[in-house]
Amino acid sequence: MVIAAFAVISQRGTNGKDYTYSQFRKQVVAGKVAEITYDTSSGKITGKLDDKAKTEFQTTGLIPFPDQDRELLFSHNVDMKNKRPTPSFIEQWLPLLFFPVLIIGFFIFMQRRAQGQMGNIMSIGRSRAKTYSTERPGTTFADVAGYEGVKTEIREVVDFLKYPEKFGQIGARIPKGVLLVGPPGTGKTLIARAVAGEAGVPFLSVSGSDFMEMFVGVGASRVRDLFQSARKLGRAIIFVDEIDSIGRKRGAGLGGGHDEREQTLNQMLNEMDGFEATEGIVMIAATNRPDVLDPALLRPGRFDRQVVVPLPEHEERLAILRVHAKSKRISPDVDLSVVARGTPGMSGAELANLVNEAALHAVRKGGEMITRDDFEYARDRVLMGQRRESMALSDKEKELTAYHEAGHAVCATMLDDADPVHKVTILPMGMALGVTQQLPVEDRHSYNQDYLEQSIVVAMGGRIAEKLIFGVVSTGANNDLVVSTERARKMVREWGMSERIGPMAWGSQGQVFLGEDLMGNARDYSDETARVIDQEVEQILRDCERRCEELLTENRNGLDLVARSLLEHETIDGAEVVRLCNLGSTAPPATPSFEPSSSFSNED
C-alpha cells in the first residue's frame, strides 16, 4: 500500500513538460508562463503555461533564485510563489525519540534476562537425567558383540524388572546396584544403552559430572530429584556414567576432600540404602577407576555386584570387527580373523576406529572396496602414527635403520618364546624411522620369566646389531632401552623374579590426586634394598644384552640377508624373515657398503 502511494506521488511529480532553465527563461520572455512555484530548498520550479489547457511544466533553477530572474518574472506579470517544505512527523520526532526508545529497550532486555536467570536458579537443583522408554529402544544386546558373561548378568537385572514375581516366589532379591568396571573404550556405555533398549521399563541416564555445579548443595539436590523421578515411574533403571567423578574416597588426597562432591556422595549413599527402602529401582554405574571409589559405595546393599568389562579376547575382537564391517564394502582378500589376531589389547572403540581408518584410506587411494592393505595401513596408523612420506633418509641412515630393524626381527625369529614377526619396515612412521611388528599366536593372560627375558633380548636386538655391524651406538635404541628397563624393574620389584630379592613385591608409585595420601605412596623399602633392586635390574639387562649379542653373532649371515632385503624392498613380512634366517646358515657373509661412523641419529 505504501509502495503504491509512493508510485502515485512519483507519477504526479513527473507529469508535465520538462524544460531546461534557459528554455524556461525563453517561455517567460515570450509571455507564455502564467505562474510558477519555486522550492527554496531544492531549487525545483513548477508552473503553468498561459494557454487554454494550462499546461504544467517543471524545471530546476538556481539556489537562491537570482534577483534579475525575479525582475524578469515581475516584468512579464508571472505570479511567483515560494515553497518551503515542512518535515514529516517521523523526520521531526525520530531524532528525539531514538535515545528514549533505546534506553527503554535496554531495560526490557535486562528484565527478561533477569527473569530467565531466576528461572534457571529455581530449577538448578533438578536432575538432568534423560529418560528413555520402550518406544525408543535404540541399541539392544544384539548390537553388543561378545561379552556374553557381562550380558548374562545384566540381563538378569532386566528380567527382574520385567518379571519381578518370578524372583519373588522363592524370595530372591535382585542387586540394587551393578558397577561396570573396565578400561576406556570397552563398551560400558554401549552395554548400558543396550539395557535401555531391552529393559521394557523407564531408563534414566545421567553423567557423574551433571551433579556438580558452582553452587553449594546443588549436587545433593539433583541426586534427590533423580531418585524422586525414578520412584514416580515405579520400576526403573538409573544409569550413572563416570561415577568416579562424584564417588571418590571421602577425605582423601592432598588438602583433604571436596565438600560439595562429598555431600553429593553422601546423598547418593542415603538414597541407595537409606531409612526408606527403595524397591524396583536398579542403579547401574560405569567407571574405569574402581580403585578410587569410596568403600561405602561398594558395600553390599548398594553396588552389590561388580561386572568386569575387560579388553576383548580374539573371538570377541573378531565379533566386534564383524559388527563394524557390516556396513562396509570389504574385499574378499580381507580375513577378519587375521586382523583380530593382529590387534591384541585393542578395545572395542579402537577396533571401530581401525575399521574406519581402513575405509578412509580406501577412499583416499580411489579404491571401491576395503582391501587387506587398507587394514594394514590402518593398524600401522593407529599403533604408530602417520607414515612420513616426505622424510628422506640418507643412504647411511637407511642402512643403519635396516640393520637395526633386522636385529629385532632376527632375535624374534630365533627365540622360541618370542612372539612371531608379522612385518618389518624401514619406512618412517610416527616418531620411528623403522618398525618391527610382532603378533602373538594367541592372547596371553600371564607371562613367565623366559618370555619376559626373551622380550628384552628382542628389544636389545636393534642396538646390538648396530654395535656389531658398524661399531657404533645411535640414539635409535632410546625407546628400546626405556621399555627394557621398565620391564626388568617390574620383574624385580613387582613380580618376584629375582633370587636376591626373593618373594617380595612393591607396587609402582601411584598418583596422589586419585584418592590416596601422599604418605601412603612413600617408598616402603630401605635404601639398601633399593640398591639391591638396581643391581638386579642391571644384571638382567646385562645378561639379556650378552645373550642378544651371542644370538646375532651366531646368525650374522641371516642378519645381513634380512637387512639387504629391507634395503631393497623397504618392507618384508614375517615369512620372508624366517626364510632369510634359515638361508643364512649357508649364505656367504655380506659387508656394509660404507665405513663405520659415529654420527648416526635415528629414532626407533
| Residue numbers annotated as active site | 405
For helices 527-554 and 449-470, give the axis angle rounded to 10 degrees.
60
Instruction: Give Cα 154 to chain centroid, integer Å.
Output: 28
CA distances to 15, 19, 84, 386 from 42, rounded to whole Å, are 18, 16, 10, 74
- The 10 Å CB-count burial string (b at 16+, else e) for 332-363 is eebebeebbbbbbebbbebbbbbbebbbebbe
Cβ burial 162-191 (10 Å sphere, 16+ → b, else e): eeeeeeeeeeeebbbbbbbbbeebbbbbbb
Query: Which pairing describes strands 44-49 and 33-39: parallel, antiparallel, or unpaired?
Result: antiparallel
Q: Residue 227 in contact with residue 188, Cβ under 8 Å?
A: no
Angle ∠(390,394,398) on CA atoms, nearest 5:
95
Q: Is 419 helix (H, G, I), strand (E, B) or coil?
A: coil
Compute φ and ψ for 83, nearest 5 degrees: -115, 125
Residues with Cβ within 8 Å of residue 385, at least 6 apart in sequence: 429, 430, 431
CB 289 within 8 A of CB 244: yes
For residues 53 and 60, what is the distance between their CA atoms, to the nearest angstrom?
22
455: which residues sit within 8 A by CB, 6+ positions away? 418, 487
Radius of gyration of the chain (CA): 43
C-beta neighbour count of 315 within 10 angstroms: 13
Fill in the amino acid letter for 469: I
Q: Which helix (H) or strand (E) holds 520?
A: none
Contact 402, 434 (CB under 8 A): yes
Q: Distance from first CA to last CA of the chain, Å, rounded?
A: 80
Q: The cell 555431600 sits on which residue?
A: 263
Going by C-alpha positions, the residue among 270, 249, 267 that lies closest to residue 258 is 249
Per the CB < 8 A criterion, the answer to whether 321 and 214 are in contact is no
The Cα 415–Cα 233 span in angstroms is 63
C-alpha cell at 584: 643364512
The H-assigned helical ranges of 123-249 are: 148-162, 164-168, 188-198, 218-232
Phi and psi at residue 241, in whole multiples of 5°? -85, 145
d(CA 168, CA 558): 71
